[in-house]
A and B are shown apart, each in its own frame.
Chain A
Amino acid sequence: MQLFSCPFCGPRDETEFLFAAEAGKVRPEPAPEVSAADWSKYLHRVSNPRGATREIWVHQTCGEYFLMERNTVSHVVANTQPLRGGEA
Chain B
Amino acid sequence: MQPPRNNKRYSAWSLFREGLRGHSGWEEAWRSPPGPKSSYDAVIIGGGGQGLATAYYLAKNHGMTKVAVIEKGWIGGGNTGRNTSTIRSNYFYPESVALYDYSLKLYETLGKELNYNIMFSQRGVVTVAHSDAEMEIAARIVNAMQINDTDAELFTREQVLAKAPLLNSGDAARYPIFGGVWQGRAGVARHDAVAWGYARAASAYGVDIIERCEVTGFLMENGRCVGVETSKGDVRAGAVGIATAGNSGVVAGMAGFNLPIKSYSLQAMVSEPVKPCLDTVVLYLGTGTYMFQSDKGEIVVGGGIDRIPSYAQRGNPPVQAIVLSGMLEMFPSFGQLKMLRQWAGVVDVVPDSSPIIGPSPVPGLYLNCGWGTGGFKAIPAGGVVFAHLLATGEHHDISRPFDLDRFRTGRLVDEAAGSGIAH
Q: Are A45 and B312 in contact (CB under 8 A)?
A: no
Judged by a CB distance under 8 angstroms, whether A37 is at the interface is yes
Contact of B336 with A by CB under 8 A: no
Q: Which residues of B contact A1 (CB under 8 A)?
A: 316-318
* B interface size (C-beta, 8 A): 25
Assembled-state Cα–Cα distance A55/B308 (Å): 11
Q: Which of A14, A47, A55, A73 contacts B253 (CB 8 A)?
A: A47
**Chain B 245-260 against A: per-residue CB contact (8 Å), 1 yes, 0 no?**
0010110010000111
B258 contacts A72, CB within 8 Å? no
Which B residue's beta carbon lies closest to that of A39? B408
Chain A 18-44 per-residue mask, 1 if CB under 8 angstroms from chain B, else 0: 110000000000000000110011011
Asked if A72 and B409 make an inter-chain contact with CB atoms under 8 angstroms apart, the answer reads: no
Whether, in the assembled complex, A12 has its beta carbon less than 8 Å from a beta carbon of chain B, the answer is no
Chain A residues lying within 8 Å of B249, measured Cβ to Cβ, are 46-50
Q: A43-B407, A44-B407 are in contact. Are A2 and B308 (CB under 8 A)?
A: yes
Total chain A interface residues with beta-carbon distance under 8 A: 26
Given contacts A46-B249, A48-B249, contact A72 B311 (CB under 8 A): yes
A14, A50, A53, most chain B CB atoms within 10 A: A50
Contact A46-B262, Cβ < 8 Å, known A2-B308, A18-B307, A19-B308 = yes
The smallest C-beta distance from B417 to any residue of chain A, in angstroms, reads: 15
- Say if the beta carbon of A61 comes within 8 Å of chain B: no
**Contact across chains for B318 and A15 when beta carbons are under 8 A apart:** yes
CB neighbors of A among B301-318 (8 A):
307-312, 314, 316-318
Which residues of the other chain, A, contact B262 by a CB distance below 8 angstroms?
46, 48
Contact across chains for B259 and A45 when beta carbons are under 8 A apart = yes
13 residue pairs A–B, Cβ–Cβ below 8 Å: A1-B316, A1-B317, A2-B308, A13-B318, A15-B318, A41-B258, A44-B407, A45-B260, A46-B261, A50-B250, A50-B311, A72-B310, A73-B311
Residues in A lying within 8 Å of B, measured CB to CB:
1-2, 13-15, 18-19, 36-37, 40-41, 43-51, 53, 55, 72-75
Beyond A47-B249, A49-B249, A50-B263, 17 extra complex contacts between A and B, CB < 8 Å: A2-B316, A19-B308, A36-B409, A36-B410, A40-B408, A40-B410, A43-B407, A44-B260, A44-B407, A45-B259, A45-B260, A48-B250, A48-B262, A49-B250, A50-B250, A53-B309, A75-B310
